[in-house]
Amino acid sequence: MTSTLSAAVVAGLKDKILAGDLAPGAKLPSEAELIEEYAVSRTVVREAVTRLRAEGLVETQQGRGSFVLAVPEASSFSVESSAIRTHADVMAMLDFRIGVESEAAALAARHHGPSDVEAIESAMEGFVRAGHEGAVEADFAFHLAIARATGNRFYIDLLGSLGPMMIMLPRTRLNEAYSMTDATHVERVQREHDNVAAAVLAGDVETARAAMRLHLGNTRRRVT
C-alpha cells in the first residue's frame, strides 16, 4: 500500500517537473505541504522523494531540503564507424549485437505481421542475389527486417543507427576462408539467415532467439 501511494506522489511531482511547474533549482514543497496535498503519511512522502532522487530528478541537500535537477536532454543513440577502430572494438560490437538481435528475433517471432513476412522474404531474396558479390546492404537489410518485425521502435532505431557498418566492419577482419567472395561461406551465411527467418516466420520464439545467437556467434568466431 505504501509503495502504491508513494508511486502516486512520484507521478504527481514528476508531472510538475516535466511540465516546468517545478523548474530546475526549485525547492520541492516541504514534507508537511506534500503530506497535505497528497493526503499521505510522512513515510510515503520520504519514499517518493527517495525514488525521485534515484531517477536523477532531484537532489537532497542536508538541512536545506530537496531541489529539482535539470531534466537531461533527449539524445539519439548513434555509433560512428570511425569510433570502432580496433579488433577489440569490433568484438565488443558483435557481443552487443548478440544480446540485442537475439532478443529482437524472439520478439519478431512473437509479433510479426503479414507485411513483415514480405519484407523478410524480400531481404532474403536480395541476399541470395547479391551475396556472392559481398553485398553489405543486402545483409544489413535482412537484419533490419527482423528488427522491424519486432514492432518495437527502439530495436528499429538502434539497428538503423548502427547502419550497414555493423556488417561491413566485421567483414574487414575475416580471413580468406570466410570472404564473401567465397561461395561456400556465402552459402553458410545464407543457411544461417534461412534458419533465423524460418523460426521467426513460424512464430517459434525460442528457436528464433537461438538461431540468431548462433548466427552472430558464428560471425564472432570467424573474425580474426
Helix or strand (DSSP H, E) at 215: helix 205-222
> Helix or strand or coil: residue 157?
helix
pLDDT (tens digit, 9 = 90+) per residue, 59-110?
A: 989 889 999 998 766 556 666 666 677 888 888 989 999 999 999 999 999 9
Mean pLDDT, rounded, of the chain: 86
78, three cell numbers:
548513434
- Residue with the bigger pLDDT between 57 and 198: it is 198
Q: Considering the chain, what percentage of its residues have pLDDT values greater than 90?
A: 53
Question: Would you say 33 and 7 are in contact if contact means Cβ atoms under 8 Å apart?
Answer: no
The one-letter amino acid code at 184 reads: T
Question: Would you say 160 and 131 are in contact if contact means Cβ atoms under 8 Å apart?
Answer: no
pLDDT of residue 56: 86
| 38-52, 138-152, 170-184, 193-207: range with lowest mean pLDDT | 170-184
Question: Would you say 142 and 165 are in contact if contact means Cβ atoms under 8 Å apart?
Answer: no
Query: Residue 203: pLDDT band by 50, 70, 90 thresholds?
Result: very high
Q: Give dist(CA 123, CA 215) in Å, integer.
A: 16
Q: Considering the chain, what percentage of its residues have pLDDT values greater than 70?
A: 86
- Residue with the bigger pLDDT between 138 and 183: it is 138
Does the pLDDT at position 177 exceed 50?
no
CA atoms lying within 13 Å on the CB side of residue 60: 15
Report angle CA 108, 109, 111 to the nearest 5 degrees.
60
pLDDT of residue 72: 65
pLDDT of residue 90: 86
28, three cell numbers:
520541492
pLDDT (tens digit, 9 = 90+) per residue, 112-123?
A: 999 999 999 999
77, three cell numbers:
543513440
> Helix or strand or coil: residue 116?
helix
pLDDT of residue 34: 94
> Helix or strand or coil: residue 77?
coil
Would you list the DSSP string of 106-122?
HHHHHH--HHHHHHHHH
pLDDT of residue 79: 66
Question: Would you say 101 and 196 are in contact if contact means Cβ atoms under 8 Å apart?
Answer: no
